[in-house]
Structure 1
Amino acid sequence: MGPSARAIAEQASLQAFLHGYLQEIDPGQWRENTESARTPGHWICELSLESQRSRLAIDILYRSDLGRHRYGKLHQWLNGRYCWAEIEPFQAMCLLVRELYARSAGMVPELRKLRELELLHRLTDSYGVMTRYIAKRRHDPHLYLNRFLESEQSLLFGHASHPTPKSRQGMSEWQQDAYAPELTGRFQLHYFMVHESCVLEDSATAVPASAMSELLINGSQASLNLPDNYVLLPGHPLQAQWLLLQPAVQSAIEDGVILPLGALGPEFAATSSVRTLYSEQADWMLKFSIPVKVTNSLRVNKVPELRAGVVMARLLAQTGFAESEPRFRILQDPAYLTVNLPGQAESGFEVIFRENPFIKGQEHDVVSIAALTQDPLPGRNSRLLSLIEGVALNENRSLAAVSQDWFQHYLACAIAPALRLYDEHGVALEAHQQNSLLDLRGGYPDTYYYRDNQGYYLSESRRATLTELCPDVNHTPELFYRDAMIRDRFCYYLIVNQLFSVIARFGADGLVSEAALLRQLRGFLQTELARLDGPARPLVAMLLEDSCLPYKGNLLTRVHDVDELNAELEMAVYTSIPNPLCRRVQSVLPNQLRKQAVEVHHGAA
């Protein structure tokens, strides 16, 4: 019968938590396992619990060159009995949380206890939510279908390197059933009529945002015969429920400025971000503000992000990059609508229109890299393993040979063009796993898609050129960063978060060793280095030569209770990890490389 949904969720929660702990806090002391009677693992990693005068021993079932290990049983050293005792994963996480805050020097005791309580609450929430999703979906035959929406709704374990991957504060159980992507609900949007004097909109397309909104309901019809001077605004049901309770909105309704219309039009479904909605029938996906904290952050659209989507659509069109790299697509967010209410920077009505190339008939074989590399449920293969086995069978070739060819296709369509976009135009992307989609027609990566208007970084060194190309960038000065900071961010999102997850999945599935793919990656980067002469060149040189790489500390960010998307300047905690591409560190055990000082950088999660 296999493990229960709760047991699966507990182990997955441990997996995510320990990944952050070993990368960001303490790499542990590693030793070969000579106690074979206790565990089948070949390695044991010991973590010190100094404040508790104890130790934690973790059986390593798979040791990854990239830090993406697989964990087995856990044992705590009992000083009083002078022996090891097996403990449950959640108990181990609680011990490590206690140790984290015991080590948090300089924090006021009361604040430390409040933050510790908050982290424990989010851990418990994430664990419980994950259990529910697994129980509902583990036997669902649609879970592993390679179609856009099925891929988006398959992330039962969530962010692989976040300590609370399924924390959903602000969404009750009945709302989960209706609106959580993992539970596959579909629902209508809630619409408002708003007097045009209060509406703010912009569009980089020939179609105004207000017209896009009408077309969501009436398809090809020209008009819904709205009253004169009124505009139709869509809302997420969760957003609408919150808005209708706000005094400023209630006052506008009383004055006849805003008229709630309720649920209308076709049904939509949530994608993996929870707040971006999709319909096979619509030309646009919609990104809403919702009153829910997903992992770290309250998910709201800020006015600068509305502008950024429009400006970047115009800028990228001027670069001609799409024509030169047809296998690398950036899903544009070229239009927005919102309501301007007195005294508020954001009213809560903000909605972003995102292009949807995955309409009915075009949604097959499109999978996010997060879904492709996600750990499988017990007794199942990962998406990537099933895909490679199918290709190898069709081509009558070995799994390793197909894997290395697949990886080369992936580098060609996903990584090389991203480096060239930064090198030639000074535009870097926050291309993490969940923001990255692959078209897998024929089994191999054919086209890469990037999404997220919050994830653009423009090189300060290219400001004059970009401004000449598209003067509208003067309206988004917050998008410009120094190249040194962009290198750190781009390195983490594109390489450490996205690319390394692909390599680790191949290794964990036994398709080809991580070491072989790292050698292949080194060769690819050396070739790219020879053709780059702009800001991407120092980034590639860093990857090939530096002993450490920048790493976004999701656990440290959570320990300090930082909401990156809403903190001043979007602050996030960064640290560093050993560089597996650097020949000097490839043979060094994890405990022989210590963390550099933690830094605080600015930017989105």
Structure 2
Amino acid sequence: MNPTPVPEAPGADGPPSAPGRPRPGESTTVPRQHSGGYEDLPGPSPAHDRLEADHLDHPDAHHAADAATVENLLRCWVREKNLPQPAGKTLRVPLDASGTALLVPVHYWSPTGWHRFGPPALEGAPPTAPSADAVTVAALLSRESGPVGDHREGADLVGRVADSIRRTADFITHRRQHPGPAADADFFLTAEQSLLLGHPLHPTPKSREGLSESEARLYSPELNGCFPLHWVAVDRSVLATDSAWTEQGRTLTAGQLTSRLAGDLTLPDNTAALPLHPWQARELLHRPAVTELLSAGLLHDLGPHGDPWHPTSSVRTVHRPGAPAMLKLSLGVRITNSRRENLRKELHRGVEVHRLLRTGLAKEWQAAHPGFDIVRDPAWLAVDTPSGEPVPGLDVMLRHNPFGLGDDAVCIASLTAPRPWPGRPRMRSRLAVTVSRLAARTGRPTGAVAAEWFLRYLDQVVRPVLWLDGTAGVALEAHQQNTLVILDPDGWPRGGRYRDNQGYYFRESHRAALERRLPGIGTHSDTFVSDDVTDERFAYYLGINNVLGLIGAFGAQRLADERLLLAAFRQFLTTATGLGSPLPTRLLDSPTLRCKANLMTRLNGLDELVGPVDTQSVYVTIANPLRR
């Protein structure tokens, strides 16, 4: 389907260049191997040149990391407290509990929330006083949270902010020294390991409690970490497993798959091979349930073995180029707001969705949208006690690996995140580099290219997700890290993928139809959710986090006028109302939207993987930018 044309951006980058003629400061020499190549990068566009000196490019990596974290905290606060756009160039953030305020320079005000801020100052402080750093800002904002948080959660926030800054500084330092991958690097892995700054609306996007510095070097995707897996052998009397993984018409068990991945590892009789994250394996030895299984001879610790695996952007999902499976491992490190150990219902859910799609739903979907699919999670292996109770942390989800070395699949979070590039003084996002290349190659204004790229993305990625909701009542938790766009050799969207065995919402209103497709669906996976909660979460994850977040990235990086892209999104939603999903109408008509509040969630001490889906996170009401 061809995207709906929209008018070009009104003068965002000056008059169009003549066809085939390079724009000032840009090269028409573009590597043809794929759009994520590093050689012969075009220079920054004129609009990019007009930006204030960006603190992300500060030569001191800790300064850059601290400033990025300050911006995250302030973006969260502005959104979660509904602070209005200031009349001038300074935002005043009242701090009533401390009897002062923050005065924040506004470099860019985003209609969708991706604001750019300068270093804040305390109101009344002498001109020579240093600006407020991120730890200070976090402490001041936590005091303002009142009854929603206590001193313990405020102190926890401050500590995790400091941890996130330290790790981000390490990532920036490493990437400045090693900005480019090898010429034969795996495209998918390169993209997965390029998310240096993390979620722009999260207070502690890179906090990882429990990892030492030496462990971080091995286990961090941002540091290009890699490591062999730690293996245990599980006696089949305590093995819990399910598989819908098929090859050449034959179903393979999870144990057969892990044995293949283990290579020449020797297993005791009547056991199955279970891979573990090395950090998790060490931590599990201190858990009584695991030590009892080891003492009883029902678990056998086989140690590290095999070729190295590489952490992807989620840290705990690992990838090995050429392997048939990726592995989603349990990892008890607290990342963002949660300890990342698989829940048994999530293991069931991955296999169940694969079976649901195989009932004929996938064929219907592919007929309508052949460029989009779900990355399947069709097998898992875990451990029970002899009495049949699940043992937390001893499990693995086996995920299809559909990406070959030449598949340019990149999650939207990585696409929009600034990072160092070889030979360039400024951090830029893959999105900015791609759009600049396309503008240089075609001789069109950057804003017009950005608008076309965005419309192609809506058709190739967003429309299929709306189809699945409208047709089957299955809403995807399609936030930017769960959503991958597949790019053609020039950098245009040509398809997409969704990944995450946790993030499915089966609409209660579609229960009967889904039961007819797959009898017993939801019995073990706990995936049916009321339509009201589904509407709220779907609007946030796909509408706000994904699409409005992408619009914000285009605007904050001076690639396009956000107002133009919001108009294009409204036009797309009008055409998408016929897909059957209630989301387009909700986004078009509702004056307000419910939005996840990452800072308030942290100050409430919530673990987003624990408890009922409707109370795992704090949600706030924000004005709908599509209605402004």
Which interval holds the TM-score relative to the shorter structure? 0.7 to 0.9
The residue number in structure 2 matching 1:380 is: 427
CA contact 1:291–1:298 (8 Å) conserved in 2: yes
Q: Compared with structure 1, are the counterparts of its residues 225 and 50 closer, same or farther at alpha carbon in structure 2 (3 Å cutoff)?
A: closer
The residue number in structure 2 matching 1:336 is: 380
- TM-superposed deviation, 1:99: 4.3
2:378 pairs with 1:366: no
The residue number in structure 2 matching 1:353 is: 398
Structure 2: which amino acid aligns with 1:408? L
Q: Structure 2 residue aligned with 1:94, among 131, 136, 144?
A: 136
Residue 318 of structure 2 aligns to a residue whose secondary structure is strand
The residue number in structure 2 matching 1:452 is: 500
Q: Structure 2 residue aligned with 1:491, among 518, 534, 539?
A: 539
2:185 pairs with 1:157: no
Structure 2: which amino acid aligns with 1:409? R
Compute the RMSD of aligned alpha carbons: 2.1
Structure 2: which amino acid aligns with 1:300? E
- Aligned residue pair count: 555
- TM-superposed deviation, 1:26: 4.8
2:348 pairs with 1:307: yes
Q: 1:26-45 residue pairs with structure 2 within 5 A?
A: 26-27=82-83, 30-32=86-88, 43-45=89-91
- Structure 1 residue runs of 5 or longer lacking an equivalent are 33-42, 587-605
- TM-superposed deviation, 1:477: 5.9
Q: Which has the higher contact order (CA 8 A, sep 6+)?
A: 2
Structure 1: which amino acid aligns with 2:192? E
2:236 pairs with 1:196: yes
- TM-superposed deviation, 1:492: 0.5
CA contact 1:276–1:285 (8 Å) conserved in 2: yes
The residue number in structure 1 matching 2:171 is: 133
* Distance in 1 of aligned mates of 2:294 and 2:241: 20
Structure 2: which amino acid aligns with 1:544? L
Residue 501 of structure 1 aligns to a residue whose secondary structure is helix
Q: Structure 1 residue aligned with 2:469, among 417, 422, 436?
A: 422
The residue number in structure 2 matching 1:559 is: 603
- TM-superposed deviation, 1:146: 8.7
Q: Deviations over 1:442-469 (max 9, x none)?
A: 3101111110010000010000010110
Residue 331 of structure 2 aligns to a residue whose secondary structure is coil
- TM-superposed deviation, 1:472: 3.6
- TM-superposed deviation, 1:346: 3.1
Q: Structure 2 residue aligned with 1:182, among 193, 217, 222?
A: 222
* Distance in 2 of aligned mates of 1:315 and 1:544: 31
Q: 1:283-294 residue pairs with structure 2 within 5 A?
A: 283-294=324-335
2:213 pairs with 1:173: yes
Q: Structure 2 residue aligned with 1:12, among 68, 77, 84?
A: 68
What percent identity do the matched residue pairs reach? 37
Q: TM-score, normalised by structure 1?
A: 0.88
* Distance in 1 of aligned mates of 2:267 and 2:607: 40
The residue number in structure 1 matching 2:278 is: 237
Q: Compared with structure 1, are the counterparts of its residues 557 and 200 closer, same or farther at alpha carbon in structure 2 (3 Å cutoff)?
A: same
Structure 1: which amino acid aligns with 2:374? I
- TM-superposed deviation, 1:401: 2.2
The residue number in structure 2 matching 1:64 is: 110
- Structure 2 residue runs of 5 or longer lacking an equivalent are 1-56, 246-250
* Distance in 2 of aligned mates of 1:472 and 1:353: 22
* Distance in 2 of aligned mates of 1:400 and 1:449: 26
Q: TM-score, normalised by structure 2?
A: 0.85
- TM-superposed deviation, 1:394: 2.3
The residue number in structure 2 matching 1:214 is: 259
Residue 418 of structure 2 aligns to a residue whose secondary structure is coil
* Distance in 2 of aligned mates of 1:382 and 1:212: 37
- TM-superposed deviation, 1:508: 2.0
- TM-superposed deviation, 1:97: 3.3
Q: Structure 1 residue aligned with 2:319, among 258, 274, 278?
A: 278
The residue number in structure 1 matching 2:101 is: 55
The residue number in structure 2 matching 1:431 is: 478
* Distance in 2 of aligned mates of 1:167 and 1:235: 22
* Distance in 2 of aligned mates of 1:156 and 1:224: 35
2:617 pairs with 1:572: yes
Residue 188 of structure 1 aligns to a residue whose secondary structure is strand
- TM-superposed deviation, 1:314: 0.4
Residue 473 of structure 1 aligns to a residue whose secondary structure is coil
- TM-superposed deviation, 1:515: 0.6
Q: Deviations over 1:307-331 (max 9, x none)?
A: 0011111012221344222211100
